Amino acid sequence: MAGERSGKRLVVVTGGTRGVGAGIARAFAEAGDEVVVCARRPPRAPLDGVGFAPLDLRDPPAVHAFFGRLPRLDVLVNNAGGAPYRLLAGTDAERHARVIDLNLVAPLTASLAAYDLLRRARGSVVMIGSVSGTRPSPGTAAYGAAKAGLENLARSMAVEWAPEVRVNTLVVGMVRTELSHLHYGGEDGIEAVSGTVPLGRLAAPADIGRAAVFLASDAAAYITGAGLLVHGGGERPAFLDAATVNRTDRVEEADKERRGQVT
C-alpha cells in the first residue's frame, strides 16, 4: 500500500484495476495525487504512479480494516461495480441481490468505513453512477436499480456529512473499455452504438477520470449532492425515429422542396 507523501492528497479508487476505474486512477495520478486502487485481483499490468491493495469490497470487516490502516484519506471514488446481462425472470432474486450488494451496499460500506478519515481531511466522495439508474435497464434491471439507489444515497450522504465531506455522483453513459465487445459486439457494433450518441463516440475512461478529478477538486468546492451527467449528450428518444412527422430527414426534404418552389 502506498505510504504518506507530504503535500499530496491520498485518493482511493475502488475497482480501479481496469476500464473506467483505471482511467480514474490514472487521471488522479496525472493530477499529482497519491493513488491506491483496491480490488480482489491486481491489474494485469501495473498502473504508473498507482498503488494496489487487495480487497473484497463485499467483506465489511476487511473493508474497515483496510481503511483503518490508511494514514489519511482525502478522496474516495466508489467505482467498483458492474453486472452480467441477466433478464429478471431468468434467475432468482438472490442472484439479483448480489448485483445490488456490489453496486449499492459495497459503496455504502466503503464510505462509512472511510468517513472519519474523510471528515478529518474535509475530503470528498465521488460515486460512479450510471445512466442505467435514470431509465429502464432491461437485462440489467438490478444494476439499474442499484445505481438509482446509489445516486439517492449520495444526495442524502451529502446532506448528513456537510460541511466536512462533499459527496457527488458521476452519472456515466457508455464507455469504451477492453470489455466493450461484451456489451456492444465487435467494431461494427461499437461503431453503430457510437452513432447513437450525440457527440458521436463512446466515452473514454480518461473522460470519466477527468470529471472525477474535477468533482474532487477545489474548483468544485461548492458542489455537493450533485449528479454530473457524463454521457456525451444522452440518448435520442426512440419515438422521434418512429414518428411519421417532424423527422429530421423529412424536414430537410420539405425544406429542399420549398427552396425549389421559391427558385
Report pLDDT digits (tens) over 49-70.
999 999 999 999 999 999 999 9
- CB burial readout 37-68, b (16+ within 10 A) else e: bbbeeebeeebeebbbeebebeebeebeebbe
The pLDDT value recorded for residue 196 is 87
Average pLDDT of the chain is 90
pLDDT band with cut points at 50, 70 and 90 for residue 238? confident
Distance between CA atoms of residues 8 and 121, nearest Å: 12
Helix, strand, or coil (residue 78): strand
For residue 64, which amino acid is it?
Answer: H
Q: In what order do the strands lie in the sheet with 124-130?
A: 50-54, 34-39, 10-14, 75-78, 124-130, 166-172, 227-230
Residue recorded with cell 458521436: 200
Q: Which is it for strands 75-78 and 50-54: parallel, antiparallel or unpaired?
A: unpaired
pLDDT band with cut points at 50, 70 and 90 for residue 85? very high
pLDDT over 60 (residue 92): yes
Q: Which is it for strands 75-78 and 34-39: parallel, antiparallel or unpaired?
A: unpaired
Indicate if 143 belongs to the active site: yes
Nearest in space to 7 (alpha carbons), one of 32, 28, 27: 32
The model's pLDDT over 17-43, given as tens digits with 9 standing for 90+, comes to 999 999 999 999 999 999 999 999 998
The pLDDT value recorded for residue 106 is 97
CA dihedral 187, 193, 195, 199 (to 10 degrees): -110
Q: Angle between the 141-161 and 93-100 helix axes, to the nearest 10 degrees?
A: 40
pLDDT over 90 (residue 81): yes
Q: Which of 85, 115, 143, 184 is catalytic?
A: 143
Angle at 56 between CA 55 and CA 61, to 5 degrees: 90
Interval 99-108 mean pLDDT: 97
Distance between CA atoms of residues 202 and 13, nearest Å: 22
